[in-house]
Structure 1
Amino acid sequence: MTSAGRRPETLAQRNFRLIGEAAEIITGWPRVRDRLRAVHVPDAGGRCRGCTSQTRTAPEWPCALAFLARGGAPEDFTHPVRTSHRARLL
């Protein structure tokens, strides 16, 4: 425990906190937010169309950028495919 009596934050807690902070910033950039929302959408297999890589499979939707562009609100992800672990954190 830290000197303040609190446990140090875990990596997952830190990442979740940082995504929330970034989501707050993105809300002030409507053009960036709207572009991320338009590009990071699910394909027929439930993977993100906007996350492309020549060496890896696209992540399951919602990806971190889709989550970020929607303000981190899990209720915004209503697509009927299986959601990723990111959306189940809340």
Structure 2
Amino acid sequence: MAAAARRRPETPAQRNFRLIGEAAEIITGWTLVRERLRAAHVPDGEGRCRGCTSQMRSAPLWPCALALVAHAEAPDSAHRVRTSHKAGPV
């Protein structure tokens, strides 16, 4: 295979973005699940997710992964978004 034809390996940020999109696509028709996720995973006064609780560590900054899934629209293959300037081409 020619060097120009090889794809670069997916970065962790690109993989996470892809997986969140896939999960959002799966639950698109599950309106009750989406609404419950949207209701539970909201920011608190410190900008952390109220729905993500743990006795071992503090809650992640909002939006957490589940909030992203619940609020994501169905992926549009014509419109691809880079997750950060470090992520490289998608």
Shared fold by TM > 0.5?
A: yes
| Number of equivalences | 76
What residue in structure 2 maps to residue 27 of structure 1?
28
**Structure 1, unaligned stretches of length 5 or more?**
74-87
Q: How large is the RMSD of aligned CA atoms in angstroms?
A: 2.6
Task: Determine which structure has more spread, i.e. the larger CA radius of gyration.
Answer: 2
What is the CA distance between 1:89 and its match in structure 2? 2.5
TM-score using structure 2 length: 0.73
TM-score using structure 1 length: 0.73
In structure 1, what is the Cα distance between the partners aligned to 2:17 and 2:27? 15
What is the CA distance between 1:72 and its match in structure 2? 6.0
Percent identity between matched residues is 74
With over 3 angstroms needed to count, the CA separation of the structure-2 counterparts of 1:2 and 1:60, relative to structure 1, is: farther
1:36 alignment partner, SS class: helix
Q: Which runs of 4+ in 1 moved over 3 A?
A: 1-4
